[in-house]
Chains A and B, each alone.
Chain A
């Protein structure tokens, strides 16, 4: 792997950058692997990287139907935080956040993780109670969190409309200073490059069309590039989780929905932190390029369509114009959607299945990006040891049978 650094950049720059080599090989699939991961998104690639790095499992393939990073890792709004309410969530997201804090160095790839702070604002007495509850839980879980007054919110983001005369005045907020954003595509590319360097085969344009089992154990995958035998299989395919699982006869508690986002034209910097309001379903931040990035709530119907319903955009932008009146004359440049896999309790499934050797990592819904490093870490552990890491034990498929849900809808402030 070519080392990325300023001296190297200058040295190669003097030679016209002609001697850079591919960030990852375009691998041909081998007939057999110890572990096959389906889905070269953030979570899948991170899983492959940690399998090789931490567990010495390098005979690994990552299969991707299209181009690497073309799913939700390339479509999300890039927000990273760990201020979740329930212990199980808080622990895994905080573990992930700690990994984020050293990820650029770990991967030798600048993922531009920017801890510019994440502000949740509250608009009603009940919402403020919920926010206080969450801040308290975060603090006792060792996660940085602050409860802010309206005045403090206003000082942090002066362009936010904190007038008491709006329809839903800002009554206060919470701040996680270590939260922020990262360059989403770079996360996929950084993990791909690092995994490839450790020997992992990344196979693009290779669609899985069937899952073969024998005696209750997974044996191989049928793909558009031939059959591939596998000791263990990890399905990490987000919106398509149900489709893949059904190939093995497994039903999942997941529904797939479009989740829309949009970006505006670039502006000179106007605010720093990420601002989220769950009451009006908005999250917004300004990228280093100067664009405003906005996310919305999911489209209600189950759908794999990648356009989304424009009504949702209208509602989000109305809320944005309410909260940020100076953005009314700023223009939407581009709008898109991803397919998110939503569990009934808005928490993921990182788990074995009734089929031996077949593991799922899915159900991240609207919030998977931030979990990428942690999710990969614990899923690698799960695949390597054929049993869960303590951090993902609560996120079993079994919880839907026992009823031990981790209901992050409860505090809606963490729905995204």
Chain B
């Protein structure tokens, strides 16, 4: 079990949250300008890192805010959490 530090609500058990995959994969500004390979990289390719991993979580059964958690994927240790800059 993970204790997820929701930036708004505090630490809560992970079953209140939804995992949203790797963070920092912004949607390309102009998808039509991309090759099929570049588009596939955006859609599907992931670092899937062993170790430090920045990822998205949503406090689904709480404040319903999305935020970023940094976690070690081997030990599951939570290394930090941050909010999306402009979300209010």
Co-assembled chains A and B? yes
State in angstroms the CA–CA spacing of A344 and B48 once bound together: 13
Residues of A within 8 A of B74 (CB): 303-305
Number of interface residues of B (CB under 8 A): 28
Cα distance, A301 to B41, chains bound together (Å): 20
B87 to chain A, nearest CB (A): 21
Known contacts A309-B1, A309-B2: A255-B73 contact under CB 8 Å: no
- Give A144 to B23 CA distance when docked, in angstroms: 44
Q: Are B44 and A253 in contact (CB under 8 A)?
A: yes
A interface bracket (residues with beta carbon within 8 Å of B): 20 to 34
Q: Does B75 touch A at the CB level, under 8 Å? A: yes
Contact A302 B73, CB 8 Å, known A240-B50, A255-B21? yes
Contact of B33 with A by CB under 8 A: no
Closest beta carbon of chain A to B13's beta carbon, Å: 8
The yes or no answer to B18 lying at the interface (CB within 8 A) is yes
Q: Are B21 and A302 in contact (CB under 8 A)?
A: yes
Minimum C-beta distance from A114 to chain B (A): 35
B40 in complex: contacting residue of A242, A305, A310, A401, CB < 8 Å: A401
**Contacts A251-B41, A255-B21 hold; do A301 and B46 have CB atoms under 8 A apart?**
no
**A344–B71 alpha-carbon span in the complex (Å):** 22
A9 at the interface (CB under 8 A from B): no
Given A302-B55, A401-B36, A252 and B46 touching (CB < 8 A)?
Answer: yes
Whether A167 is near chain B, meaning CB under 8 Å from some CB there, is no
Residues of A within 8 A of B43 (CB): 253, 344, 400
> B40: which A residues are within 8 A, CB to CB?
253, 400-401
Residue B30 interfacial (CB < 8 Å) = no
Q: Which residues of B contact A163 (CB under 8 A)?
A: none
Chain A 310-350, CB within 8 Å of chain B: the 1/0 string?
A: 11000000000000000000000000000000001000000
Chain B contacts of A303 at CB under 8 A?
A: 73-74, 76
Pairwise interchain contact A254-B48, C-beta atoms closer than 8 A: yes
B37 within 8 A of A: yes
**Residues A242 and B44 in contact in the complex (CB < 8 Å), given A302-B55, A309-B14, A401-B36:** no
The 11 sampled A-B contact pairs (Cβ below 8 Å) are A246-B47, A251-B41, A251-B46, A252-B46, A252-B48, A254-B46, A255-B21, A303-B73, A304-B73, A311-B1, A400-B40
